Structure 1
Amino acid sequence: MLTVALHALRTRWSTFLGTFVALSLGVALLSVMGLTLASSLDAPKRQPERFATAPVVVQGQNILSVPTSIGGHVSRETRTLAHPHAVPETTVSKLKRLGRVIPDRSFPVRAEGAPRDLIGHPWSTAAFAPYEITEGRAPRTRDEVVVTGDWTHPGDRLRTDHGTVRVVGTVPSRGFETAVFYSDARAAELSPQSTQLVVEAEAQDVREAVEGEAVHVLTGSARRLADPDPDRDREALTAMNALFGTAGGVTAFVSVFVVASTFAFSVAQRRREFGLLRTAGATPGQIRRTVCLEALLVGVLASATGCVLGAYGAPCLADRVVDVGLAPDWFTIGDSKWPYHMAFWTGLLVALLGVVAASWRAGRTSPAQALREASVDAGAMTRGRLLFGAGLLLTAAVTLALALISDPGELLHRKTYVSRPMLLITAVALLAPVLVRPLTRLLAWLPAHLPGAGGMLVRENASAGVRRTAAVAAPVLVTVALTGSLLGATATLNEAKATETRERTTADFVVVPTGNAGNADHGGHGGHGGHGGPAGNHGTTAPHAPTENPGFDARTLRNLRTIPGTTVSATSSSAVYVLEDGVALIRSEARAAEPAALAVTAALPLAAGQVSDLDDQSIIVNEEWERHTVGQTVDVWLGDGTRKSLRIAAVMTTGTGDNGVYVTPANAPGAHVDRVDVTLAAGADPAVVAGALREAGGHVLTRDQWLRAGNPGTDRTTRYGFLLVLGIALLYTGISLANTMLMAASDRVRDLAVLRLAGATRRQVLRLVGAEALTVVAVGGVLGLLVTGLNLAGMRSALGLLSVHAPVRIPWPELGAVTGACAVLAVVFSVAPAAWALRSGAMEPAGTRE
């Protein structure tokens, strides 16, 4: 059998070329994924940045720690507080006896023509990075600043939300922030509260001085916890691993798909060959072993090649993900060996999985049946294929129904709407032989009734060659279905979020701090982040160094509230924490607002209760909470860690996951007003009110401007991940189309020669071949649209159950682009072999060759 397998590989190399390339690329990507994961696991621990040379950093209480019990085992759950505590004055007094104390203050700065991520600090903290002045001098007065980087120079004036300032010095950027340093006095005015400070004293003395007090003493590498977003490396690597994990899963899935369809078509082509082997005495088991051995040989060669490609490709990809900001600057590929083993053996497994069904079918071939059916494409749908296809389709339906009944929000999670299409794609692909013939005849019905025989020949050829049509349509189905399902899911979720915001926002104007247009949250709670579905509402956030957002100052708020002819609702961002089932400490984003004004300026999606019932002893929750009945009492921890029992005044629907909770300002200590909604009274002039709002301070947006500015979009990691997944799918589609068309070309020589004998010109033959290719692509496209429709219908049903009534968004431009690309590939790789055969004279009518 080994001799037969080697002979088949040598003589039928074109048959196995597509499988070899597909497996090689799949193993290469798996190698890259494994090397990336291994490198991220071996990532160095981030060292302190802002306080690299500080002796000791003392932070106020910024962690909520709650005891939990799981199976009798008592532990503690911790979460970062939304509003960290300042270091108590009594503690500061003790520390001053030990040495110099330098308060740290961090606050956002917005300036015209400047980077958007400016952070303000007092100049005295610059020495701990350390920052050293390269041009100019240190700031001395309230209108002088020193900035990092080279985007401005000494002598320039900057118009900021804190007034016009003059740049008197610059320091080199250290990469982790774009800072603006004010004098210590001016920084204290802009950010009165200091949640952390530097103590120039011995660490042991500091610990003894603050023993028993609610502060954190940071020394050594722990000082990184005082840096801005200290866990950004871990979060970036986690997102990157999720991206490559998804790509690896799709690669394995599509690889099996391509290999299986290639071997199935190859076995169908070789029925005469297998029949002759059976006639010569080969047993069914020997035939199966021969086919499996061929796949094993191809798998070994392809896996080895893929590992080599992965070794060269991983560093290039690492450089790319660093360039686009998906990985930290220090990220490089290590020298781990296990990713190569994982990729190699996975490649072999994929090859064997892809050939199992084909080998079984090959072994069932009898000599007489093979010789009788060698020229007839019949029996393409086997009983096993029908059973598996129907079973997968039933599984998809049952799991969808269970999800809709038990947890509709699960269908909005990224991991769900990425994986569910694969189940449906496999089911539809297995059932393709049943669907191909009627669908082909339907699509070709009109061309077949036009004058001439071309349309009729296209219809009959495509519908008669079921195996060939199904083999070509399968990769098109994968690409179109993935494109429609993934991009359609994100577009539908974005539209649902936009619909929620539109229905919830009834104010005529929205005022935000100057320079913050479109950046404040739109839903009244958490912003529009990545598509996590309802789980995003009850998620947790990674701890990070506090950056105070001063929001509106008191004078501006007084001016806004005194404008005649308006109802003003000033709200602030906060959080509450609840312990569910005694085991999970959950953070929910919250908005603090006065109930009367909130009822006039917003339309909350209430399922029960009234906004007007909200008071200092109550809370508005959503249906995702464990307790969500009006009148019930819930124990919560407020944004500053204060524990309090609140009565449920009203309950909101779950929605897409942005319906957080509402409390009064008394239950959001430390929160700053960052949004003001304004509703006009009857008869008020909008133009006059808008002018008064601008004079009062802040950036004024109409309702429509506010909605446009906050139109939700797909986050960058998700976008890159989907582009990678769809790129892989399109690449495999090209490989599969090229391979299948080239394999089919030899079988079609006789058919096309008959057309030439019947009087068809070379151009007519090529047009016929191209038209057949387009018809088959159309079949795959329709099947892909069917899968897309089923997936998005499930998502639409979930949104309806979550009380979100938004339309389904099908990405028609992207679907048109990928279908067009598939059509071009199919036409090129079908017409090119036919043109070559015509050119070589293989299809010339008898008597015309020289």
Structure 2
Amino acid sequence: MLSVALGTLRTRWTSFAASFVALALGVALIAVMGTALAATLDAPEQPPERFAVAPVVVQGARTLRVPTTHGVRTEPLARPRPVPARTVAALRRLGTVVGDRAFPVRVTGGPDGVVGHPWPTAAYAPYSLVTGRAPQADDEVVATVGWTRTGTRLRTARGTVRVVGTAAAAPPRGTRSGPGGPAATAPFETALFYTTHRAARLSPVGLQLVVEAGPEAVRRAVGHADGVRVLTGDARRLADADPDRDAEALTALNALFGTAGGVSGFVSVFVVASTFAFAVAGRRRELGLLRTVGATPGQVRRLVLTEALLVGVLASAAGCALGAWGAPHLAGWVVDAGLAPGWFTVGGHAWPYHVAFWTGLMVACSGAATAAVRAGRVRPAQALREAAVDRGTLPWSRRLIGAALLLTAAVTLALTLLGDPGELLHRKSYTSRPMLLISAVAVVSPVLVRPLVRLLTALPARLPSATGMLVREGVAAGARRASSVVAPVLVTVALAGSLLGATGMLSASKTAELREHTADFVLTPAMASATDGFDAATLDRLRRVPGAVVSATAGTEVYVVEDGVAPIGSEARAADPAALAATVRLPVTAGRLSALDDDSIVVNEEWARHTVGQRVTVWRGDGTRRSLRIAAVLATGTGDNGAYVTRANAAGAPVDRVDVGVARGADAGTVARSLRTAAKASGARVRTRAQWVSAHAPGTTRTTRLGYALVLGIALLYTAVSLVGTLTMSTAARIDDLRTLRLTGATRAQLLRLTAAETLTLVATGTLLALATTAADLAGLHIALRLQSAPAPLAFPWTAMAATATTCALLATAAGLLPTALALHGHGRSGALGAR
């Protein structure tokens, strides 16, 4: 049997080329994604940056520690606490103590993200002066290199300062310095260093200290101070501005690579299965001849499976080699695109290649399993007698599988809508759920192709030209070929519609929700005062604006332990209840906002306890514990409706937002001008509702866009492979039919037009099925949004779907016309007669 299979592969290699290429690409992608995932799991910890040479760093309480049924669990605090004064005094007795402060600075015409520090902390990075000197007066600063120079005067929101020096940080441990030394190293921050006195005035609260003393002595001095932690060695990285930025980037990469790998496997199964099935269907006469000379059904099945095994081994090996070549290129791309840290590399892991190889082999064998069963059913002389018309293209096994998949998709959707409709709004859900529905429709697509083609060709078939009739009858006679063309188009267009449609609907819903809940005007503080919020004088001026109803709120967070498992943080705002109700329209489903007081809280329906009058135990933003009564309940919406408390429960959070409503009878234009005048001195920004919504409307992140582009690119690549393979094989099988049409008087141009018409009809059929599948998928999301009190219109991403369908049409037309033109080349009418 092995020798027969090898002989078949040698003589009919074109029949297996599409399966080989698709499988090799799938294995390569799985190997690349697996290698990249392995690299994210073994990522090195980010080295300390700001305090790389500090002996010891002492931080105030930054985490909430809550005892649960699973032990003590922690959660980052929204309002970290400074080191207690008593602990600071004990530390000063050990040695030099330098207070660290970090605060945003807005520089007119300067870069974004400038941060301010006191100059004495620069020595612990260590920063060294490249030009100039250290600051000595309140209006003097030292700047990091690369964005300004010594002698420049900078206008900031807190006054004009003069740059008296520039400094560069030494490269982090384990990195190479450039030929220019430290100055050649890319800075990890854009900073301005002030005098100690000026930095303390700009940011009164210091959250961490550098102590010039031994770690053990510092730990003894700290003792059991609540939440205070001592950082030494690599743990000093936790004192950096964003110690988890690498981990967050790698988490996004995990999602990107995991989704791309899943789509690769999902699409490759369809392509390999359809091409194997079509190849076997085209060999009915050959298999019938084998049965005639004595081959048993089991031998025929083993022949087909052996062929699949051989193709699988060769393709998987080629895919692993291709993956080893492509993995470093992928790593370089994600680094260049800013999706991964600069140190990110791949390699050194063998298990992704084992997973990819054996997965490819399993896909090849499983994809050929149905075709092998069908091949074993060929009777000894059946294929020699039957006409070239496909019958029984959808066996009962496939019907049952399709029904089971459809039923599973419907039941799981119904259960989710009844139980937790918010689950459908999560990215993992709306990315993976469409695949189940697409699989179901693709499995049963052969039974849907003929009626849809008859519908599409109903009018053309009545025209004087015979093209419409020939397309209709040609598809009816070649149902397997038609299904092999329709399936990849269905998968690709439906993926584009479902993924992009879901994100579009969620964005539209969030935008509508934001517009509904935003006041007439919204004011935010200048960037430089964001940590301190609005000052009292500015708030007083705003409240005196005629015709303005002012609600000043502070951002904070509250934590609750649900089911005794772990603390869950929820964004909250501290507000005056009466002013809040007069300026914004919140989706209250129970209770009253006016009932909010210092002993109560407003929650949303997502909380485990959300009954008005119940009491919930919460931890405030600074970690203190309170028992609060539920005063009102908000609809869950798209998940952005947080909790509300009064200022007494906001743990000293500054006012960082002012919502302003226009009183009845007042002129909105006059109020806007008065608000800008009142806010001008503080640098606060005044935005209308439309401006606020435009600036804060949700949109897809760059990582998400690149991820979708990668996923859809993979699907289109597989579609091209499938179409080329299927149409090349079908053209070879139809060459006699084409020559017969030439004998009846058809020209080459007419035959090419007929081929193009058939192909485009099949692409249109696949697109119609994709539209129906996308509609069913997005309808579930639409219902979930309505149940969450955040309805959004059922909207298709028409542009993306049209572009995807057009690309499929171009690929299919090219894949159909080229082999047809080559097959007709040199076969004129006389050649056809001679052949007959």
Pick the TM interval, shorter chain. Answer: over 0.9
SS of the residue aligned with 1:132? strand
The answer to whether the 8 Å contact 1:191/1:548 transfers is: no
Aligned-partner residue type, residue 746 of structure 2: A
TM-superposed CA distance for 1:95, in Å, is 1.4
Aligned to 1:520: none
- Which of these residues, 152, 160, 170, is aligned with residue 156 of structure 1? 152
Residue deviations 1:176-205 (CA, integer Å, cap 9, x gap): 322222222221111100111111112222
SS of the residue aligned with 2:666? coil
Aligned to 1:796: 782
Say yes or no: does 1:655 pair with 2:637. yes
Aligned-partner residue type, residue 20 of structure 1: F
TM-superposed CA distance for 1:155, in Å, is 3.0
- Which of these residues, 262, 281, 290, is aligned with residue 294 of structure 2? 281
Q: Using the alignment, how far apart are the partners of 2:650 and 2:40 within structure 1?
A: 38
TM-superposed CA distance for 1:307, in Å, is 0.9
- Which of these residues, 474, 486, 498, is aligned with residue 461 of structure 1? 474
Residue deviations 1:631-670 (CA, integer Å, cap 9, x gap): 0000000000010000000001111111111111111113
- Which of these residues, 311, 314, 319, is aligned with residue 332 of structure 2? 319
- Which of these residues, 756, 775, 778, is aligned with residue 770 of structure 1? 756
Please provide the CA RMSD for this pair. Answer: 1.8
Q: 1:59 to 1:846 in 2, by over 3 A?
A: closer
Aligned to 1:213: 225
TM-superposed CA distance for 1:162, in Å, is 2.5
Residue deviations 1:326-380 (CA, integer Å, cap 9, x gap): 2111111131212211111111111111111111111111123322335121111
Runs of 4 or more, structure 1, over 6 Å off, are none
Alignment map for 1:125-136 (pairs within 5 Å): 125-136=121-132
TM-superposed CA distance for 1:385, in Å, is 1.0
Q: Using the alignment, how far apart are the partners of 1:8 and 1:848 within structure 2?
A: 29
SS of the residue aligned with 2:556? strand
The answer to whether the 8 Å contact 2:530/2:656 transfers is: no
Aligned-partner residue type, residue 634 of structure 1: V
Aligned-partner residue type, residue 196 of structure 2: D
Q: Using the alignment, how far apart are the partners of 1:196 and 1:559 within structure 2?
A: 35
The answer to whether the 8 Å contact 1:146/1:168 transfers is: yes
Q: Using the alignment, how far apart are the partners of 2:730 and 2:825 within structure 1?
A: 18
Q: Using the alignment, how far apart are the partners of 1:765 and 1:186 within structure 2?
A: 84
Aligned-partner residue type, residue 104 of structure 1: D
Aligned to 2:136: 140
TM-superposed CA distance for 1:146, in Å, is 2.5
TM-superposed CA distance for 1:739, in Å, is 0.7
Residue deviations 1:62-106 (CA, integer Å, cap 9, x gap): 111111114xxxx10101110000112222122112111111111
The answer to whether the 8 Å contact 1:574/1:590 transfers is: yes
The answer to whether the 8 Å contact 1:492/1:808 transfers is: yes
SS of the residue aligned with 1:116? coil
Say yes or no: does 1:567 pair with 2:540. no
Say yes or no: does 1:684 pair with 2:671. no
The answer to whether the 8 Å contact 1:495/1:809 transfers is: no
TM-superposed CA distance for 1:231, in Å, is 1.6
- TM-score, normalising length: structure 2: 0.95
Q: 1:846 to 1:637 in 2, by over 3 A?
A: closer
Alignment map for 1:670-681 (pairs within 5 Å): 670-681=652-663
The answer to whether the 8 Å contact 1:753/1:844 transfers is: no
Alignment map for 1:393-412 (pairs within 5 Å): 393-412=406-425
TM-superposed CA distance for 1:404, in Å, is 0.4
The answer to whether the 8 Å contact 2:56/2:230 transfers is: yes
SS of the residue aligned with 2:47? coil
Aligned to 1:641: 623
Alignment map for 1:36-51 (pairs within 5 Å): 36-51=36-51
* Most deviating of 687-696 and 333-342: 687-696
Aligned to 2:687: 701
TM-superposed CA distance for 1:848, in Å, is 8.6
SS of the residue aligned with 1:647? strand
- TM-score, normalising length: structure 1: 0.93
Q: 1:98 to 1:810 in 2, by over 3 A?
A: same
* Most deviating of 256-265 and 679-688: 679-688
TM-superposed CA distance for 1:312, in Å, is 1.1
Q: 1:242 to 1:55 in 2, by over 3 A?
A: same
- Figure out how many residues of one structure are paired with residues of the other and give that number: 815
- Which of these residues, 186, 206, 211, is aligned with residue 194 of structure 1? 206
Q: Using the alignment, how far apart are the partners of 2:527 and 2:479 within structure 1?
A: 62
TM-superposed CA distance for 1:137, in Å, is 2.7
The answer to whether the 8 Å contact 1:634/1:645 transfers is: yes
TM-superposed CA distance for 1:846, in Å, is 3.9
Alignment map for 1:724-763 (pairs within 5 Å): 724-763=710-749
Aligned-partner residue type, residue 716 of structure 1: R
Aligned to 1:524: none
The answer to whether the 8 Å contact 1:752/1:765 transfers is: yes
Aligned to 2:373: 360
Alignment map for 1:607-622 (pairs within 5 Å): 607-622=589-604
Say yes or no: does 1:444 pair with 2:457. yes
Q: 1:787 to 1:163 in 2, by over 3 A?
A: farther
Aligned-partner residue type, residue 197 of structure 2: A
Residue deviations 1:230-275 (CA, integer Å, cap 9, x gap): 1222222122122111111111111111000001111111111111
TM-superposed CA distance for 1:61, in Å, is 1.1
SS of the residue aligned with 1:76? strand
The answer to whether the 8 Å contact 2:65/2:75 transfers is: yes
- Which of these residues, 553, 572, 575, is aligned with residue 535 of structure 2? 553
Aligned-partner residue type, residue 116 of structure 2: G
- Which of these residues, 283, 290, 296, is aligned with residue 270 of structure 1? 283
Q: Using the alignment, how far apart are the partners of 2:351 and 2:385 within structure 1?
A: 50
TM-superposed CA distance for 1:809, in Å, is 2.8
- Which of these residues, 99, 120, 131, is aligned with residue 124 of structure 1? 120
Residue deviations 1:121-140 (CA, integer Å, cap 9, x gap): 12221111111222333233
Aligned to 1:825: 811
TM-superposed CA distance for 1:464, in Å, is 2.9
Q: 1:191 to 1:843 in 2, by over 3 A?
A: farther
Alignment map for 1:241-640 (pairs within 5 Å): 241-505=254-518, 507-514=519-526, 549-640=531-622
The answer to whether the 8 Å contact 1:571/1:593 transfers is: yes
SS of the residue aligned with 2:381? helix
The answer to whether the 8 Å contact 1:569/1:598 transfers is: yes
Aligned to 2:91: 95
Q: Using the alignment, how far apart are the partners of 1:85 and 1:679 within structure 2?
A: 34
In the alignment, structure 2 segments of 5+ residues that lack a partner are: 169-184
TM-superposed CA distance for 1:510, in Å, is 0.8
Residue deviations 1:608-646 (CA, integer Å, cap 9, x gap): 011111111100001111100000000000000010000
Q: Using the alignment, how far apart are the partners of 1:847 and 1:381 within structure 2?
A: 37
Work out the percentage of aligned pairs sharing the same amino acid. Answer: 63
Aligned-partner residue type, residue 337 of structure 2: V
* Most deviating of 322-331 and 443-452: 443-452
SS of the residue aligned with 2:69? strand
SS of the residue aligned with 1:840? coil
Q: Using the alignment, how far apart are the partners of 2:577 and 2:796 within structure 1?
A: 39
* Most deviating of 464-473 and 627-636: 464-473
Q: Using the alignment, how far apart are the partners of 2:557 and 2:92 within structure 1?
A: 33
The answer to whether the 8 Å contact 2:739/2:832 transfers is: no
Aligned to 2:26: 26
Say yes or no: does 1:664 pair with 2:654. no
Q: 1:678 to 1:324 in 2, by over 3 A?
A: same
SS of the residue aligned with 1:133? strand
In the alignment, structure 1 segments of 5+ residues that lack a partner are: 517-546
Q: Using the alignment, how far apart are the partners of 1:112 and 1:7 within structure 2?
A: 76
Aligned-partner residue type, residue 536 of structure 2: A
SS of the residue aligned with 1:576? strand
SS of the residue aligned with 1:461? helix
